[in-house]
Amino acid sequence: MKKNAVVGQSGGPTAVINASLYGVAHEALNHKDSIGTIYGMINGIEGFLNNQIMDLAPLEESGELELIRTTPGSYLGSCRYKLPEDLTDPLYPQLFQRFEEYNIGYFFYIGGNDSMDTVSKLSRYAKKTGSSIRILGIPKTIDNDLVETDHTPGFGSAAKFVASSVREIAVDASVYDNKKSVTIVEIMGRHAGWLTAASALARKFDGDNPVLIYLPETSFNQDAFIEKVRSALEQTPNLVVCISEGIHDESGTFICEYSNAVGVDTFGHKMLTGSGKYLENLVKERLGVKVRSIELNVCQRCSSAMLSKTDHKEAMDAGAYGVKAALEGSTGNMVAFKRLDSDNYKIDYVLKDVNIICNQEKTVPIDWITDDGADVTEEFIAYAKPLIQGEVTVPMEDGVPKFAYRK
């Protein structure tokens, strides 16, 4: 008897997490000889526990699956649900009982670190109990912080969005070039600075904005920062500085916490302003120039306007590769990317042990950051540039992007 498949999405959405869903669903639907029904979990493993599932085959017939391919966000809904550490927890037999009810033989989970933790636990439980369900992870995160893979789907499009937006912000900032100004752009990434580093791709020429880039991989010294800004303003009167939301001082205190220590809102709550806002005030106070701060915010992970064709294709292919690997017997693995040739960008899809991947974080190598901690090196540029290449045409309706959504 043919087994069914189930696919879920988990953690924060990206611009291409649905491309991976498309990849899984489309490939699985191409294997009707081996796979029965292809289910989607609504709101990940949490929804699945509550029997929230849907049959994905009708989406292909209706054309909705094609639209899902270019829709940002998690079409199936997401969850942040951590499975118990203890594999003897009664939740596990309950879950696998549910798998049996739906005759699941293949389980695909698209997500980042935490989602790979789910894949790890389920596959270990399956092994322990002799279950034949094949359990695979499909990577996804704009943070690019998964180990054992050259990069992750979602990063390329977010990096392209960051680079484009910072280039536009720099153009905007330069219109009053007869007056000095500082624009501080705060970019997502609490512990890993990959996305902030991608702002270097915004430069139109050597020495162009963003002149200063600060990642959370090194510690941030406020006095040194002010001196850097002061000196950079001599060359670049309309200075753009990019900082990661997670920059911190030597003791590990986040820069944004400096501000929170004092501000209190009308309700007596601490004012949760970001690092950018704090540094805006710091620069204003110390240098007396015009300053503004900008948070790129969730648009970094949900904008469909700057899909990288490379990233988009890899996201689809990663999903499809996962299905093929499962059919060939793989379980307990995550689909990963291996870069074959640095000069002529090319990757291979490989499988990596998910137990090594989950709960680890890959940060930007220290030697890809300049000694003064205020820029990235050519090695980073060479690494990141291929990932943002190419554009994807998103279908439009009435002047805005057309997206798929569950009715």
The catalytic site residues sit at 143
Least Å from the CB of residue 178 to a second copy: 5
Does 388 engage in binding with a second copy (CB under 8 A)?
Answer: yes
8 Å CB contact between 228 and 390: no
Binder among 55, 86, 168, 379 for a second copy (CB under 8 A): 168
Which of 26-34, 77-85, 121-129, 138-146 is the region at the interface with a second copy (rule: CB under 8 A)? 77-85
8 Å CB contact between 74 and 17: yes
Binding residues for a second copy, total number by CB under 8 A: 74
Amino acid at 117: D
Task: Compute the 3-state secondary structure of the chain and give helix, strand, coil in percent, each to the nearest 5.
Answer: 40, 20, 40
| Structure-block tokens of residue 285 | 């106070």
Least Å from the CB of residue 135 to a second copy: 22
DSSP state at residue 391: B
The three-state secondary structure class of 221 is coil
| Nearest to a second copy of 304, 331 (CB atom) | 304
Least Å from the CB of residue 380 to a second copy: 14
Binder among 85, 265, 341, 378 for a second copy (CB under 8 A): 265
Distance CA 302, CA 104 (A): 31
Draw the binding track, 347-386, toward a second copy (x: CB under 8 A; -: no contact): --------------------------------------x-
> What is the dihedral sign for C-alpha 304, 308, 313, 317?
negative
Least Å from the CB of residue 387 to a second copy: 8
Q: How many other CB atoms sit within 10 Å of the CB of residue 22?
A: 28
Does 36 engage in binding with a second copy (CB under 8 A)?
Answer: no
| Structure-block tokens of residue 146 | 């998964």
Does 82 engage in binding with a second copy (CB under 8 A)?
Answer: no
> In angstroms, how far is the first alpha carbon of the chain from the final one?
32
Least Å from the CB of residue 401 to a second copy: 6
Q: In the structure, how many helices (H) and strands (E) does the chain have?
A: 15, 13
Which of 115-123, 226-234, 268-276, 357-365 is the region at the interface with a second copy (rule: CB under 8 A)? 268-276
| Nearest to a second copy of 149, 209 (CB atom) | 209
Binder among 297, 342, 359, 370 for a second copy (CB under 8 A): 297
